[in-house]
Copies of this chain bind each other. A is one copy, B any other.
Amino acid sequence: MAAPQKVPRPQRPKRLTRKEKQAETRRRLLDAGERVFLRRGLQGSSVEEIVAEAGFTRGAFYSNFKSKDELFVELLHARVYDRYAELAKETEAQPGTPREQLRWGAERLRDVQSDEQGSWLFRLWLECLTQAARDEEFRKLAATFWSGNRALVAGQVDATFKEVGRKPPLPPDQLATGMIALDVGLAVQHLVDPEAVSLDVYVPLYDLLFGEMVEASGG
């Protein structure tokens, strides 16, 4: 008889190991949280409703998170924060003239808003922003996020103008602020009135407002 070797990680765990199961629970809670937050808002959501949505009871929640806010913040990082950051870097790596890059970026910003059923991503972000108006913690969270993106975009702007051999008409970080502002402003207007503000305006507006200043050299 071969000695039964101790297998610390059995190849076929009957079902799920303890850690796997808990990870799954976390995931289900986060998913449920997202759905509940979207329909009730951050403040309007109760731990009760989130766990019910996920098919658990309160015990499951409190052994995975300290508070509703903590779950929300984690959600924000996993689904919003990361995605925008990734997008900013992708745009940087995009080939083509500066104006083509810009156009590509504008298309991606537009696409993010049309995700599946009505831009859950931006709506979570909006929840965060509103909370930021009152809560230092959330304000820092949002500030950090935008600082990062602003610096990234400003860097690209700066590089672009150097490439084209021209001086930016405004400091790069101000231009970056403007570009972010346009994104947020269009997203929120579209959210409120999709008929009146189509997502199609993203590309022409970015191109007109920011594209011309890096064009060959005067039309």
Residue numbers of A with Cβ under 8 A of B are: 38-41, 43-44, 123, 126-127, 129-134, 139, 142-143, 146-147, 150, 169-170, 174, 177-178, 180-186, 188-189, 191-193, 196-197, 201, 204-205, 208-210, 218
Contact = CB atoms under 8 A, between A and B. Distances in A.
24 contacts: A41-B43, A127-B133, A129-B130, A130-B130, A132-B192, A133-B191, A139-B193, A142-B193, A147-B193, A147-B196, A150-B196, A174-B201, A174-B204, A178-B185, A178-B186, A178-B201, A178-B209, A180-B185, A181-B185, A181-B188, A181-B189, A183-B185, A184-B184, A184-B188
Number of copies: 2
A188 B129 contact: yes
A44 B210 CA distance: 40
A169 B43 contact: no
Given A174-B205, A182-B178, A126 B129 contact: yes
Contact of A192 (B43, B139, B208): B139
A186 B197 contact: no
Given A142-B192, A189-B177, A205 B129 contact: no
Nearest to A39: B134
Contacts of A186: 177-178, 181
A205 B178 contact: yes
A130 to B, nearest CB: 4
Contacts of A189: 146, 177, 180-181, 184
A103 to B, nearest CB: 15
Contacts of A131: 41
Contacts of A178: 182, 185-186, 201, 205, 209
A134 B182 CA distance: 23
Nearest to A219: B218
Given A41-B43, A181-B181, A181-B185, 4 more contacts: A129-B130, A146-B196, A181-B189, A184-B188
